[in-house]
Amino acid sequence: MKKEINIRELLHRYMEGESTQTEMKQLKAYFDSGQDLPEDLRAFAQMFAIIDEEMPTPSAEALDRFSEGQPLKAKRTLPLWPFIAAACIAAFAFIFLTPPQKEESMAIAYIDGKAVGDKALAMQMGQEALQEIFSNGNQEQQLNELFNAP
């Protein structure tokens, strides 16, 4: 009866997760003994029958590492310069290798300081200015051609 009380106490500790390896072994030995068990303990016998092997115990070194929060592998530091060089090459490639974009198209005229967004007027003003300038010397040339013609 005393042993049964002790077992119940051990079971309680086991269920609370407080039992030691020795206490677990005692429990397993008790339930594996094949002795006649009280009705309420039979289910535990089935449970301990499944537990054939001892729970794996982590090594002391692993526990130390875990408690100190150290990573298992040393952190690798990557050099920064290859990434900067790659970014520079990409920037140069973008500037010099991309096809030139079509010239921005615009036409604007300013009359008495006011902007007139009339494309035709701007073109007309530009063309007239060029015609005026390029027609210089024309009269002289025409007169020469007229009077020197055979």
Partner 1 sequence: MKHLLITLALIAASLPLSAQEGLRINEVFEGNIINELAMQESLVKGESLEPFKLKVLHTVKFTTGNSPRDKVEALFEEDMKGRLSDNNDNLELEYRDGHLYYAIVQIADTKKGRHRYICYQCRQAAMGGNSITLVYMEGKASLADLRKTFKKK
CB closer to partner 1 out of 59 and 139: 139
Closest CA relative to residue 19, chosen from 1, 7, 30: 7
Q: Which helix (H) or strand (E) holds 115?
A: strand 114-116
Residue 125 as a binder of partner 1 (CB under 8 A): the answer is yes
**Amino acid identity at 121:** L
Site string for partner 1, 6-45 (x = CB under 8 A): ----------------------------------------
CA 67, CA 72: separation in Å to the nearest integer? 12
Among 16, 39, 104, 145, binds partner 1 (CB under 8 A): 104
CB closer to partner 1 out of 12 and 119: 119
Among 35, 57, 105, 148, binds partner 1 (CB under 8 A): 105
User: What's the Cα-to-Cα distance from 36 to each of 29, 31, 48, 87, rounded to whole Å?
Assistant: 14, 10, 15, 79
Q: Cβ(14)–Cβ(28) under 8 Å?
A: no
CA 31, CA 7: separation in Å to the nearest integer? 10
Among 81, 97, 99, 149, binds partner 1 (CB under 8 A): 81
List interacting residues with partner 1 (CB under 8 A).
81, 84-85, 88, 91-92, 95, 102-113, 119, 121-123, 125-127, 129-138
